[in-house]
Each structure stands twice: as C-alpha cells, then as structure tokens.
Amino acid sequence: MSEEKILKMGYYSIYHVKTKTKTCYRVDSGKTIYIARFKKTVVNPYRDIKDFPTLKKAKDYITLKLKAHKKKKDKMLSKIPKSLYLILIREETTGCVFVKVGITAKRFIMRRFSKTYGYEGYIIESILRRIDTLDAEKLESEIKDKLNKKRSIKKYRPVLKSFSGYSECFDHDGLDEIIKIFDDLTSEFS
C-alpha cells in the first residue's frame, strides 16, 4: 500500500491511497492537534478519516465539514464579548510605528499581537483606546469606512505578509485625525 499526500484544505489533508486491488482518496483531519493555550501537541480526539472513490467526492466532503465548522465557530464567537481598540505598533525590522484599529475577543490586547499568534517582530507601543461593547464589529466598520474616505489618512502595509488585519492599519502621520474619528464615533460608549 502506498499513500501520497496530494492536497490540503483547511485542517484536512487528502491522500492518494493505492493498494493492490483499489485506489481511493483518503480524507484525514490530522493525527495530532496543537493547543496554543498550553503550547502542546496532543493526539486529536476528533480525528476524522474517510475514504472516497474520487477526488471530487473527497473535496465535497471537506467543503461541507469546513462550512459546518465555520458556522459553529462563528456562532460561538458571536456570544463572546469583544473589545474595540486603537493601538500603536512598532515594526522591529523597519522601526516604523503605525496605527491599528481593530476588535478582539481576547482579554489582553498584548496577547493578540504576541509571537504565539504569529506576530513575531511587532511590539505594541501603546494602547490608545479600548472599549468593551457588543457593537464592536459595527463600530469598527464605521471607523474604517470613515478613515478610508479621508485622503489625508494613508494606509500602512506591515512587512509581515501574513499580518492579520492589515487593512485596519494606518500611517502614524494621521494619528490626530484617526483619534478624533475614533473618539467621535465611540463617544457614547466611553
């Protein structure tokens, strides 16, 4: 029997499995999972392995599973209180300081931008504003819309290509205007 990994979709892998009598496509969600909270890799208690006669059927199965997982995750996340924040971040490689507007469900914003979450090379200089509200997503969207319409406020693209939330980053030169817009839109929550 030979098993060759041919594709990865989300947290699933698809293997082309050949035996003497048949060929199939095996879908596997992984033998182990990494638990960031404890910084440990453990045996996956929810491992999902299935064989399919065609690659299309394997892909369709994974698509359905990932959609169901996303729906469940979104439902859980919608119940978690979120914080709207305005922070200054320094890029260690360039020394540039930029402004980021965003939301997080994490209690400590510092953890949100730690090495554990893939933000190596970034240091939070200052947390300028933090507001805990159920309307965090709506407020963030309104703030971003207003900032994007202002010609005097320039976007900033972090060096790290996988920087999550790069569309919410702005040049430090527009800080005063960014703070004013943030404060105007969030004044009733302060």
CA distance 20 to 85: 59
Is 127 or 79 the better-scoring residue by pLDDT? 127
Does the reported pTM lie above 0.75? no
- Is a pLDDT exceeding 90 seen at residue 15? yes
Return mean pLDDT, the chain.
Answer: 89
Number of H helices, E strands in the chain: 4, 10
Is 59 or 162 the better-scoring residue by pLDDT? 59
Please say whether the dihedral angle defined by the alpha carbons of residues 171, 174, 175 and 177, taken in this order, is positive or negative.
Answer: negative
| Residue (of 36, 38, 46) closest to 11 by Cα position | 46
Provide, rounded to the nearest whole percent, the portion of the chain with pLDDT above 70.
Answer: 98
- Cβ pair 51, 28 in contact under 8 A: no
- Cβ pair 80, 69 in contact under 8 A: no
Q: Determine the pLDDT at residue 187.
A: 85
- Is a pLDDT exceeding 80 seen at residue 4? yes
Region 92-109 average pLDDT: 88
Element of type H or E holding 186? helix 175-186
CA distance 90 to 173: 14
pLDDT per residue as tens digits for the range 49-61: 999 999 999 999 9
